[in-house]
């Protein structure tokens, strides 16, 4: 089972030093690739390491060097495919720069988010990227503002935290104008809860595009949801379908998951998409192009969003005093068959 009751890897640098017949300093030098070690010595050390199966205790190293080379990414819900492409972008630049990226699911809960920020405070991670709702971020804005983190997708430009995202107001306007261009005048909005900044911005974009066209929306067409589940979208569609006398002919959902649920709900209510009701979504997640009819939606540059966020963070890590800008990336309307 085991040596004589010590688990195999209780070997420390001094054990290695001893069997190699050198000092711990020398072992440390070869461990870190320092050049000032004579070849024979280095080889002795390497041999001792190999023979013992020694592994650096990163905890000790991190304590000494005061860095962990770990980055955290916090998402409100990693069940939402929207985040995966972003996270992959973050991961790839982190990796290229010698960092590990670890993902945390906060469930959009301030308490949980806070606990992950504690990993930062406790020096167990060097920095973080937060995709949580702006409201959640705000909950710890003051106390966390000194911490090395950046906001992605959701951000408060006034918070003094570096961020990257898109112009949601404009993007929502583009979606609505596309619907307008197809002759729709009765356009519903299916939005997420008020915790999300993007929700407020897209709602404004929707409203502004409508009023610019001289159209006034029926309040009954404006539905606020507290989740982005498919099921929530489905339920919203039923609500809309029941508006007998004044049913909208189009709906703009602020998330593809919602939009997909809406299409399903419409189908359940016997309404055909896009003939009777057109639907446009937001994000352009992978499955959006797979469903029937393929979803017209506003594509976010997900991978670039992630890469940019990671680069901003890295920059901030290199120079804590650097002015890190907020950046907005371009979106793009993907016209498919649902609208």
- Residue numbers at the binding site for a copy of itself (CB under 8 A): 1, 7-9, 55-63, 68, 70, 72, 78-79, 81, 84-85, 87-88, 91, 100, 102-105, 115-116, 119, 121-124, 146, 229-230, 234, 260-261, 263-264, 267, 286-287, 289-292, 320-321
- Tell me if residue 45 falls in helix, strand or coil: helix
Dihedral through CA 79, CA 81, CA 83, CA 87, nearest 10? 100
Q: Which of 18, 19, 52, 56 binds DNA (CB under 7 A)?
A: 56
Q: Which is nearer to DNA, 7 or 158 (CB)?
A: 7
**CB of residue 79 to a copy of itself, shortest distance in Å:** 4
Cβ neighbours for 100, distance < 8 A, ≥ 6 positions apart: 69, 70, 71, 94
Q: Which is nearer to DNA, 41 or 92 (CB)?
A: 41
**Residue 57 sits in the site that holds DNA (CB under 7 A):** yes
Look up residue 165 and give its DSSP letter.
E
**Residue 49 sits in the site that holds DNA (CB under 7 A):** no
**Residue 135 sits in the site that holds DNA (CB under 7 A):** no
**CB of residue 71 to DNA, shortest distance in Å:** 20
**Residue 38 sits in the site that holds DNA (CB under 7 A):** yes
Q: Which is nearer to a copy of itself, 115 or 211 (CB)?
A: 115
**Residue 290 sits in the site that holds DNA (CB under 7 A):** no
Residue 271 interacting partner from a copy of itself, DNA, none (CB closer than 5 to 8 Å by kind): none
**Residue 47 sits in the site that holds DNA (CB under 7 A):** no
Residue 87 interacting partner from DNA, a copy of itself, none (CB closer than 5 to 8 Å by kind): a copy of itself
Asked if 163 and 137 touch (Cβ cutoff 8 Å), the reply is no
**Residue 18 sits in the site that holds DNA (CB under 7 A):** no
- Tell me if residue 140 falls in helix, strand or coil: coil
**CB of residue 56 to DNA, shortest distance in Å:** 4
**CB of residue 24 to DNA, shortest distance in Å:** 5
User: Which residue is associated with the tokens 């992978």?
Assistant: 286
Q: How many CA atoms lie within 13 A of 113 on its CB side?
A: 25
User: What length does the chain have?
Assistant: 339
Of 226, 239, 286, 242, residue with least CA distance to 260: 286
E-strand spans in the chain? 70-75, 100-105, 127-130, 149-152, 163-166, 187-191, 222-224, 250-253, 278-283, 296-299, 327-329, 332-334
Rg (CA), the chain: 26
**CB of residue 329 to a copy of itself, shortest distance in Å:** 20
Cβ neighbours for 97, distance < 8 A, ≥ 6 positions apart: 310, 314
Q: How many CA atoms lie within 13 A of 238 on its CB side?
A: 8
The token pair at 131 is 């995709």
Phi and psi angles of residue 120, each rounded to the nearest 5 degrees, phi first: -70, -50
Residue 269 interacting partner from DNA, a copy of itself, none (CB closer than 5 to 8 Å by kind): none
Residue 103 interacting partner from a copy of itself, DNA, none (CB closer than 5 to 8 Å by kind): a copy of itself
Which residues sit at the interface with DNA, rule CB under 7 A?
10, 12-14, 21-29, 31-32, 35-38, 40-42, 54-57, 60-61, 63-66
């Amino acid at each position: 089972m085991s040596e004589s009751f010590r688990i195999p890897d209780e070997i420390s640098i001094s054990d290695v030093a001893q069997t190699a017949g050198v000092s711990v300093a020398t072992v440390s030098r070869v461990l870190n690739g320092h050049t000032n070690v004579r070849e024979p010595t280095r080889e002795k050390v390497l041999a001792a390491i190999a023979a013992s199966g020694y592994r650096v205790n990163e905890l000790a190293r991190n304590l000494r060097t005061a860095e962990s080379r770990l980055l955290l990414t916090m998402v409100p819900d990693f069940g939402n495919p929207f985040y995966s492409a972003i996270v992959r972008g973050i991961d790839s630049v982190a990796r290229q720069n010698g960092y590990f990226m670890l993902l945390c699911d906060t469930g959009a809960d301030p308490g949980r988010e806070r606990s992950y920020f504690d990993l930062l405070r406790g020096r167990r991670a060097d920095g973080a990227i937060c995709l949580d709702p702006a409201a959640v971020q705000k909950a710890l804005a003051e106390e966390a503002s000194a911490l090395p983190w950046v906001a992605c997708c959701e951000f408060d430009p006034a918070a003094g935290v570096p961020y990257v995202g898109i112009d949601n107001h404009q993007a929502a306007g583009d979606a609505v104008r596309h619907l307008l261009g197809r002759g729709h005048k009765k356009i519903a909005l299916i939005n997420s809860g008020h915790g999300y900044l993007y929700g407020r911005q897209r709602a404004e974009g929707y409203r502004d595009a409508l009023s610019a066209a001289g159209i006034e929306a029926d309040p009954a067409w404006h539905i606020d949801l507290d989740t982005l589940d498919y099921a929530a979208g489905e339920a919203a569609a039923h609500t809309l379908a029941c508006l007998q006398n004044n049913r909208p002919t189009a709906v703009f959902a602020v998330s593809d998951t919602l939009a997909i649920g809406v299409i399903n709900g419409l189908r359940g209510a016997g309404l055909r998409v896009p003939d009777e009701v057109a639907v446009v979504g937001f994000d352009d997640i992978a499955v959006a192009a797979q469903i029937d009819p393929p979803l017209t939606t506003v594509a976010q540059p997900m991978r670039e969003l992630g890469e940019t966020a990671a680069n901003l963070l890295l920059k901030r890590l290199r120079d804590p005093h650097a002015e890190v800008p907020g950046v907005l990336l371009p979106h793009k309307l993907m016209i498919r068959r649902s609208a």
